[in-house]
Amino acid sequence: MKLGPDGTPQLYASDLQRFSACKHITHLDLRKARGEDLEVTPDSEDLKLLSQLGNEHEQNYLNSLKRAGKTIISIQQGPDAVQKTVAALHRGVDVIYQGALQGHNWHGYVDFLERVEKPSDLGSYSYEVVDTKLKRTPDPKHILQLVVYSDLLGNIQGLQPEYGHLQLGGGDRSTHRLDEYADYVRQLRKRLTQFVENPEDTVPRRCPECDLCRWRDRCNTQWENEDSLYMVAGIRGQQVMRLENAGITTMEALANLKKHEKVAKMAPETLGNLHTQARLQIGRRNGSGPTSQLRRHVKGKGFDLLPKPDPGDLFYDIEGNPHYREDGEEGLEYLHGIWYRNQFKALWAHNHSEEHQRLRELFEFFQRQIEQFPNAHIYHYAPYEMTALRRLTIKYSFGEEILDGWQREKRFVDLYAVVRGGIFASEENYSLKSLEVFYMGSRTGSVTTASGSIIAYNNWRLKRDAADPTAADDLKELEHYNQVDCESTEKLRNWLLYLRPGLIQSEPAELGEAQTKRSLEKAQAIEEFKEKIINSSIPPRLKKALINLGLFHYREKKPQAWAVFDASKKSFEDLIEDTDCLAGLRVRKLYPANRSIEGKYSFPPQFTKLSADKDACIAAYDGVIKTVTIQDLDAKKREVTLRIGSKAAEYLTDKLDLLPSFAIRTDVIEGAIHRLTEHICSGNTPPAARDLLDRNTPNLSDPSVLSKENLPSVTRMQRAVNAMQSTVLMVQGPPGTGKTYVSARAILSLVRQGYRVAVSSNSHEAIRNVLTGCVDASVEHPPRPTIVHKISSRTRMATNPPYPVTTSNDSPSLSNASIVGGTAWLFCRPEMANQFDYLFIDEAGQVSLANLFGMSLSAKNIVMIGDPCQLPQVIQASHPEPASLSCLEWMLGASRLVEPEKGIFLEETWRMHPKLCKYISEQFYEGRLHANPDTVHQAVLTPSLPEAGAYHVPVTHQEPRMQHCEEEGQAINSVIGRLLNGSWRDRHRVTNPIKPKDIIVVAPFNAQVNMLRELLPDAVRVGTVDKFQGQEAAVALVSMTSTSADDTPRGMGFLLSRNRINVALSRGKALSLVFASPRLLASNCKSANQIRLVNALCALDTLNLKL
């Protein structure tokens, strides 16, 4: 930020980013710009390195443009830079480098302006912004820059650029449709301008920007001087706010808290732990020296995670360089260090090939040590080592099962978990370096911190490349730093053993041979599967795809297993903040239930994703993890009922925590994938599977049928499926376009010709919907075909289906029926191979490519029906493409919409009024969706409310809300009261009074749904968005519930999912209202995608109602 000649602040995109993250930064920036002598923190060596690497990346891209023969004009910074840039724009050169743009008080220097052949005021061409960025994925600040620069550019050339581009560090170009971000950025610009014109006092709040902020030293000094709660080790921002709301504003006040004092919305145990931490730190500050105190013992936590020492124990530490880049891949784990039996082993890797080789050597070394010392453990501090090993095993498709086996055996011991669960320490944080004051002296050497090691390693690479003879000394210094970390880990372990009270917990019974044998056998099976593919004659691209599809389910289970293992080690404070868990259960009563035992428990205030009729895990006292079933969970009463087999009754103890559940078995699906892979490797690829893997245009006897958009949807669909010749067809159905109606009639037309049709999806409800559609279609066009639906014994459907169901995989009806419904677990069974002529996949945007790949053995033709712009596929793991994608996403490629030659896009909605459709179409369908002309007659006829459209209704929250918001509930109830006094005119021009059944209310969280159900008329449909896909009403009311993105317990990606917003608002026929706090639309976005999420709300017109 700078001041112009008239004293007006000149604003840049970087100012916008800082303002979005923290208003206090802007407050201080403005004071500095206006002449106050405020000292800033100099850039760290790490930031200087990043700046240097960024400049090199920019220069490399410029050189590539020169080599490509582009005409380039470079603009030198200076008072006439803007005029020179405008002149260069009018000349129409290919590229303008370092162009200067200006508009009102906004300024910007753009890395590159690249010409595109799109007419503008400049002529037959225009320009788009290209910024070079060192990172491999876009940051929110990069998007802010693109939109700001593009707005300034648009004012000059008379055309708003449609796209902005980022030339990323991995060599890829990331292209962004600016309309998907612009409303958020423009509102943010408006707020910043208002803030600068009317400055307000701010106070420093700890946030993710703090570590890199130029005001960090100033804020830290202020917190120290004020004795801020932020000085309490491990305290969270929300805890600070709750303490401050209770009048506890300093660390000393927290330390002096009376024993029985309470704080609203804070568990007593959490408050007690924060009080103890503050008391120890105050004592340290007052000169008492380093002090530790044992925490209250909780079975399975803290010291219970510390095994008996063994001569074969290993102490392990990794050094990594996140800035390393090679062939588009980012990051390098350049040193694995192991301290054992007073000797040090260093495994160095200076490129990705060596990184792979060192991983193999590391695992071989670990395995030899475990074989020699069966009770040995591998100690490390904090989660980085495990996270890195998990990432490396997936990256190189090596050792995944071996690593999982070691985790099941509890070979890895994270001493950070022991410390956090076992003791309080008087230090300002719980880093390894901070704890060394208790068991070893100060460190020596030129490298003493993790960030310092990154700088030192980069300097070594520069010296090595320059043949500097001192380079070897730098490497020795880095190795010494890592060795000291490893030695420190052993000393910490020994100190903890000294502190540990009572007897040492015995090891789990299966430590050693049994687990290791199973892990090695599974690892061997994976290697054999991969070898078969690698040794085949199929193309390399296909080999990679088959390996990743074959490992999809194996990898998909890992995060769930890891989440269970990781959660079992967490402290109470961490568990109670983890919405995948339920912490602090206390037994009310235990009683027999058939051949099981049920236990009713109470729990302290917290939010959880766990729900009734689902499984969860408990970490038992002996280290064993057991699965329980949640029979009932009442969040309002804070009661939960659990069930476990009577033989395991001892595990329902007086006190326990619920952890996430393990994944369900997928052996049947994996078997089908492996069988199909063998066919492909032997040269016998089924045609439909080939078209699926190659993303081929569908093989139709009459390809022209796809382009006949003037045909009615039913006719076009029927002709298309009948023209299929052992191939794959996509059908994309946006909201209200009647995809189930169209699909059912296409299925019926096939059955009438003697074809057998399979219907599948991820959920039995979706399958039921299609099968019921077939029944309804047969009423119009009899006779009714034979239909059967295979469900599981635990399946619960909303309504009874109008056709037969079976729970047996051996039912004769599965072989005889014309239409068979079931999930992948049915159609991947060996006996289902080649049993059907057509396989219809409903909600294909949610079905994984791997599942469809396995199911494809069952049918000659595959029809995918769905919409990737509605509810998406839910996966847990990080997978390489194509395994990471749903089947529909895979076939669509880079596009989100079906192209005419690839399938059918149902472009007409019969549901939404043109005003509402316009918002949905522009935000989610690139303007391709339009409303049926008759929908213009639809209207809500109620005073003070619009007849049609999509609007944001601002609701002020009295305090930060997370999963439950009374203010929005009252606002929605008020609007429903008005609606029920009004009328509704449908597309046939028939007007009737609005009734409760004409209203749908959507909320993101069950807690809000429950509150709304109590508050609203009984006949009003209320639920989460996934309950309403396929439903509609005259009016849709959406409660966003959370005050801001920081207040949502399930993350912005869930709350503001574009897919969910699309589904929620498109339930309305005429009017959709979004009730949300204005703070939610002003959320600080931490990724480019989060800006896209918030932008969908920012694009709504505002409707201010007196509620």
CA distances from 345 to 482, 641, 773 (A): 10, 51, 66
d(CA 676, CA 693): 12
pLDDT computed for residue 681 by the predictor = 95
- Judge whether 272 lies within some domain: yes
What does DSSP assign to residue 652? S
Pair 881, 924 in one domain: no
**Per-residue pLDDT tens digits for 663-710:** 888 999 999 999 999 999 999 999 999 999 999 999 999 999 998 878
Cβ neighbours of 721 (radius 10 Å): 24
Pair 273, 332 in one domain: no
d(CA 548, CA 559): 16
Chain center to CA of 559: 13
The whole-number average pLDDT for the span 941-963 is 92
pLDDT computed for residue 856 by the predictor = 98
**Per-residue pLDDT tens digits for 904-926:** 999 999 999 999 999 999 999 99
d(CA 663, CA 553): 10
Choosing from 906, 926, 946, the residue where a domain stops is 906
Assign 504 a pLDDT band (cuts: 50, 70, 90): very low
**Residue 688 near residue 726, CB atoms below 8 Å:** yes
The phi-psi region of residue 856 (left if phi > 0; otherwise alpha if psi is between -120 and 50; otherwise beta) is alpha
pLDDT computed for residue 510 by the predictor = 46
Residue 514 has pLDDT above 70, yes or no: no
- Strands (DSSP E) contained in 912-1025 are 930-931, 939-941, 949-954, 983-985, 991-993, 999-1002, 1021-1023
Pair 284, 344 in one domain: no
d(CA 1046, CA 1068): 29
CATH number at residue 261: 1.10.150.20
- Judge whether 551 lies within some domain: no
The whole-number average pLDDT for the span 172-191 is 93
**Residue 79 near residue 129, CB atoms below 8 Å:** no
d(CA 307, CA 506): 8
d(CA 1004, CA 1058): 13
CATH number at residue 312: 3.30.420.10
Task: Name the percent of the chain lying above pLDDT 70.
Answer: 97
pLDDT computed for residue 511 by the predictor = 47
Q: Where is pLDDT greater, at 846 or 1010?
A: 846
Pair 975, 932 in one domain: yes
**Per-residue pLDDT tens digits for 3-18:** 888 888 899 999 998 9
State the Cα torsion 579-583-586-589 to the nearest 10°: 40
Pair 921, 891 in one domain: no
HSE-up of 161 (CA within 13 Å, CB side)?
28
- Judge whether 1081 lies within some domain: yes
Question: Which of 790-799, 876-885, 1031-1040 has the highest average model confidence (pLDDT)?
Answer: 1031-1040
Pair 311, 247 in one domain: no
pLDDT computed for residue 519 by the predictor = 66
**Per-residue pLDDT tens digits for 107-121:** 999 999 999 999 999
**Residue 630 near residue 562, CB atoms below 8 Å:** no
Pair 284, 308 in one domain: no
- The SS3 call for residue 207 is coil
Which residue in the block uniquely carries the two structure tokens 């868990």? 581
What residue numbers bound the domain in which 974 lies?
914-1102
d(CA 954, CA 1044): 13
The answer to pTM > 0.85 is no
The whole-number average pLDDT for the span 848-864 is 97
Pair 147, 271 in one domain: no
- Judge whether 1044 lies within some domain: yes
d(CA 619, CA 659): 8
**Residue 641 near residue 600, CB atoms below 8 Å:** yes
Which residue in the block uniquely carries the two structure tokens 């020492």? 309
- Judge whether 240 lies within some domain: yes
d(CA 833, CA 814): 13
Pair 575, 724 in one domain: no
**Per-residue pLDDT tens digits for 25-51:** 999 999 999 999 999 988 877 777 778
pLDDT computed for residue 229 by the predictor = 96
d(CA 719, CA 742): 12
HSE-up of 1036 (CA within 13 Å, CB side)?
32
Report the Cα–Cα distance between both ends of the chain, in Å, rounded: 41
- Judge whether 63 lies within some domain: yes
Based on C-alpha coordinates, what's the Rg of the chain? 31
**Residue 1092 near residue 181, CB atoms below 8 Å:** yes
Pair 184, 244 in one domain: no
Distant-in-sequence, close-in-space partners of 272: CB < 8 Å, separation ≥ 6: none
Assign 238 a pLDDT band (cuts: 50, 70, 90): confident
CATH number at residue 574: 2.40.30.10
pLDDT computed for residue 167 by the predictor = 93
Residue 977 has pLDDT above 60, yes or no: yes
- Judge whether 481 lies within some domain: yes
The whole-number average pLDDT for the span 466-472 is 86
CATH number at residue 773: 3.40.50.300
Q: What are phi and psi of 375, to 5 degrees?
A: -105, 15
Strands 596-602 and 614-619: what pairing? unpaired
**Residue 605 near residue 550, CB atoms below 8 Å:** no
**Residue 788 near residue 811, CB atoms below 8 Å:** yes
Pair 504, 651 in one domain: no
**Per-residue pLDDT tens digits for 389-447:** 999 998 888 888 889 889 888 899 999 999 999 999 999 999 999 999 999 977 776 67
**HEC letters along 832-864:** HCCCEEEEEECCCCCCEHHHHHHHHHHEEEEEE
The whole-number average pLDDT for the span 1029-1058 is 86
d(CA 460, CA 450): 15
The whole-number average pLDDT for the span 273-281 is 96
**Per-residue pLDDT tens digits for 344-384:** 999 999 999 999 999 999 999 999 999 999 999 999 999 99
pLDDT computed for residue 623 by the predictor = 66
**What's the mean pLDDT when you consider all of the chain?**
91
Pair 425, 308 in one domain: yes
- Supply the DSSP string of 1048-1090, one letter for each residue: -TT-HHHHT-HHHHHHHHTTEEEEEEEEE-HHHHT---SSHHH
The phi-psi region of residue 512 (left if phi > 0; otherwise alpha if psi is between -120 and 50; otherwise beta) is left
pLDDT computed for residue 120 by the predictor = 97
Residue 172 has pLDDT above 90, yes or no: no
Structural domain total, the chain: 6
- Judge whether 886 lies within some domain: yes
Choosing from 872, 906, 940, the residue where a domain stops is 906
Assign 140 a pLDDT band (cuts: 50, 70, 90): confident
